[in-house]
Amino acid sequence: MKHIPCALTIAGTDPSGGAGIQADLKTFQELKSYGMSVITSVVAQNTTGVQAVQDIPPDMIASQLESVLSDMPVDAYKTGMISNIPMMEVIEQKMAALRIPYVMDPVMVATSGDALIEREARAFLRKHLVPLTSLITPNIPEAEFLIDKGIDSTQDMKSAAKELVHTYGAGAALIKGGHIEGDATDFLYDGHDMYAFSAERIHTTSTHGTGCTYSAAITASLSQGIPLVESVKIAKKFITAAIQHASGLGEGNGPTNHWALREEGVKQ
């Protein structure tokens, strides 16, 4: 029987469908990986912001992970929102021994500005989970926190990527340029070389879930055995089309369009 590439997301939810687990599963599906999910927090949120958060007890996160890992092949996984230390401990304990690609989107604040991680958990994340990663994908504010320094230029972004690898032990680091002036350029450092992935900045408010979608797209390609640099290239194309063709749903920062690339493909 043919093996289907399997991708797992460990993250919080978004009932409005643009970010978190929902965005990840849509992205896995679009990129032809079999999607699986472990929920860390149920988040009542929409395009306007976060209304309420209910954290899942760590034991239940452990049970969900056991259910998946005892039965299903996992070819690559990603983490998104992990709001507190006990959750991080469970994830570290269950996942550390697995030798498969791990993409961490170090989610800290939603596009709306709402905090999605407890303050004291940030340092724990850096110390215990960052060294397990194959790739970490911070936006600029997240990278600033992780390295304890301001980032004001592309030079700073490149230095941050190197620091995350050499000082904090990330397998590779992709610093995303969504939150800086100019083109939307992301820098990837894999421990040897620096790569730039660039797209024209799209003038839009539809940026809810961009980080989730991008990291899920990278994870999908990695689950298919595609090398890291090529995986980021495919994901950048996917997220750019998803932002470009966003549907403008909701009253706030709208979701991206997860099937945009498919539509573009049809038109070509």
Ligand X SMILES: Cc1ncc(COP(=O)(O)O)c(N)n1
Ligand Y SMILES: Nc1ncnc2c1ncn2[C@@H]1O[C@H](COP(=O)(O)OP(=O)(O)O)[C@@H](O)[C@H]1O
Stretch that binds ligand X, among 54-62, 88-96, 105-113, 162-170 (CB under 6 A): 105-113
Q: Which of 176, 213, 236, 240 is catalytic?
A: 176
184 contacts ligand Y (rule: CB under 6 A): yes
Q: How many CB atoms lie within 10 A of CB 122?
A: 16
Selected from 41, 133, 159, 207, the binder of ligand Y by CB under 6 A is 207
Stretch that binds ligand X, among 66-74, 82-90, 106-114, 148-156 (CB under 6 A): 106-114
211 contacts ligand Y (rule: CB under 6 A): yes
Q: Which of 27, 47, 207, 219 is catalytic?
A: 207
Count of residues that bind ligand Y according to CB under 6 A: 19
Instruction: For residue 43, list its beta bridge partners.
Output: 53
Residue 257 CA from chain centroid, whole number: 16
85 sits in the region (left: phi over 0; alpha: psi -120 to 50; else beta) called alpha
Active site (annotated) includes residue 12: no
Stretch that binds ligand X, among 26-34, 110-118, 150-158, 192-200 (CB under 6 A): 110-118
Q: Distance between CA atoms of 198 and 235, rounded to whole angstroms?
A: 12
Q: Distance between CA atoms of 117 and 106, rounded to whole angstroms?
A: 9
Selected from 20, 138, 177, 254, the binder of ligand X by CB under 6 A is 20
Q: How many CB atoms lie within 10 A of CB 69?
A: 17
Our CB check for ligand X shows the closer of 162 and 179 to be 179
Q: Judging by DSSP bridges, how do beta strands 6-11 and 34-39 pair with one another?
A: parallel
Which residue in the block uniquely carries the two structure tokens 């961009």?
A: 210
Nearest to 129 by CA among 162, 157, 102: 102
**239: buried, middle or exposed (CB in 10 Å: 19+, 13-18, 0-12)?**
buried
Binding mask 153-192 for ligand X (x = CB under 6 A): ----------------------------------------
Selected from 35, 138, 209, 254, the binder of ligand X by CB under 6 A is 209
Using CA atoms in the order 130, 132, 137, 138, what is the torsion angle rounded to 10 degrees? -10
DSSP symbol at 250:
S
Our CB check for ligand X shows the closer of 15 and 227 to be 15
Footprint on this chain of ligand Y (rule: CB under 6 A): 139, 176-179, 184, 186, 199, 201-202, 204, 207, 210-211, 214, 236, 239-240, 243
Give the catalytic positions in this structure: 176, 207, 209-212
Footprint on this chain of ligand X (rule: CB under 6 A): 11-14, 19-20, 43, 45, 80-81, 107, 110-111, 116, 208-212
